[in-house]
Amino acid sequence: YPYVTGTSVVGVKYKDGILMASDMGASYGSTLRYKSVERMKPIGKHSLLGASGEISDFQEILRYLDELILYDNMWDDGNSLGPKEVHSYLTRVMYNRRNKFNPLWNSLVLGGVKNGKKYLGTVSMIGVHFEDNHVATGFGNHLARPILREEWREDLSYEDGVKLLEKCMRVLLYRDRSAVNKIQIAKITEEGVSISKPYSLRTFWEFNAFRNPTVGAEGSW
Amino acid sequence: MTKQHANWSPYDNNGGTCVAIAGADYCVIAADTRMSTGYNILTRDYSKICKLADKCLMASSGFQADVRALQKQLSARHLIYQHQHNKQMSCPAMAQLLSNTLYYKRFFPYYAFNVLGGLDTEGKGCVYTYDAVGSYERVGYSAQGSGATLITPFLDNQLKSPSPLLLPAKDAVTPLTEDEAVDLVKVVFASATERDIYTVSSCVYRVL
């Protein structure tokens, strides 16, 4: 069972690669215990992994991947594991653990670019996996994906992509109780990975719907 | 000591419907492209069809991770077969292999509802239909998955397959032409979509 958990991760494909966003919070049940947890990490040269769910399981996954990348580098054969391969590896690991009834309690988002081909995929804790133009975990599935379905287009520019992700993260911040207003946006392109410094989103709490949520339906929430 | 039982389930139903129809010298296999969990849609274009051998396609609905594992297992076994026998596996052979693979996990099943379609050794269309633990039967047409209950009666009506209990054994393949069968499949998916939330009318179909 999960103890310390991270909330959603959202990822989109854009013109030059993949953009991924997550906040830096980790909750201990209903306490927002840790507020500087990096839930996105680069993997090898070509991939970026974001995780929600149990943080300790995420750290263990990072250890598995470290070993995987180490062996890949030791071959020294000019080939390096691309995002598709890492995704496949993670899928097998997650599926295997669920087969032993001891799952890694995470939902992972794996994005990357290799040889010009962009890849964005996700794996859940029971091994369900797929790739798509935009993915999200946890609450992001409910709140962010509808926004992305409406507003995602092929060949988003970097600025548009960031704006889109910020919009999703803002909605999550308003409506997900385990979200924290300290987010990072990670970008991965053919050149490599860059994870932004943490920053806060501007929020607006004076919406009429917030001030008066039950207008038209007194007595409801 | 109280026994702690899992409050999470290792299974999930990712939905979807698969259909296959066998003809005199062709076989149509189709599967919809929606993958869902509970009331959410995970993705809108995921293909549930896998080419196992030259003349053999499998369409599976159910729990996607198990389906994928099953596809990988069978493809790997097929590769070994090719190395050992220097030829492709025939559809009936693959059918038996699938059944055995499923029964192997009888006590922790692959939550996959499969339809195998292809051409048999004589070039006639064949369709095999399975349950989750491997019992199978060669039929003239089949539907599996969330929309199966909607589709099967319709196919029964349109294709009038003879009873397998008849003697002498009557051939179950349909006399329809390939185009007519493809049209039928498209129509069938359109209808299933009307009433089944897990099925969309966007579907992938392959014809052998």
Which pLDDT score is estimated for B5?
A: 47
Take residue B34 and report the two structure tokens written for it.
Answer: 């929606």
On whether any CB of chain B is under 8 Å from the CB of A146, the answer is no
The gap from C-alpha A59 to its chain's centroid, in whole angstroms, comes to: 15
- Rounded to two decimals, the pTM is 0.83
**In chain A, what residues touch B8 (CB-CB under 8 Å)?**
103
Which pLDDT score is estimated for B172?
A: 66
ipTM of the modeled complex: 0.78
**In chain A, what residues touch B35 (CB-CB under 8 Å)?**
128, 130
Which pLDDT score is estimated for B208?
A: 66
Take residue B92 and report the two structure tokens written for it.
Answer: 């009936």
Comparing C-alpha atoms, which of B36, B34, B51, B27 is closest to residue B172?
B27
Which pLDDT score is estimated for B7?
A: 66
Comparing C-alpha atoms, which of B116, B112, B184 is closest to residue B151?
B184
Helices (H), chain A: 55-75, 83-99, 139-151, 158-175, 208-211
Owner of token pair 């250890």: A63
Q: How large a percentage of chain A has pLDDT more than 70?
A: 96
Comparing C-alpha atoms, which of B50, B75, B73 is closest to residue B61?
B50
Which pLDDT score is estimated for A221?
A: 58
**In chain A, what residues touch B64 (CB-CB under 8 Å)?**
128-130
What is d(CA B49, CA B67) in angstroms, rounded to the nearest whole number? 10
Which pLDDT score is estimated for B3?
A: 46
Q: Residues A97-149: pLDDT tens digits?
A: 888 888 888 999 999 998 888 999 999 888 888 888 899 998 888 888 889 98
Sign, Cα dihedral of B204, B104, B80, A84: positive
Take residue B91 and report the two structure tokens written for it.
Answer: 């559809």
Could you tell me the pLDDT band of residue A152, with boundaries at 50, 70 and 90?
Answer: confident
Best residue of B43, B67, B73, B111 to probe chain A, by most A CBs closer than 10 Å: B43
Which pLDDT score is estimated for B207?
A: 67
Residue ranges of chain B with per-residue pLDDT less than 50: 1-5
Best residue of A13, A94, A123, A130 to probe chain B, by most B CBs closer than 10 Å: A130
Which pLDDT score is estimated for B103?
A: 92
Cβ neighbours, 10 Å, residue B128 = 25
On whether any CB of chain B is under 8 Å from the CB of A70, the answer is no
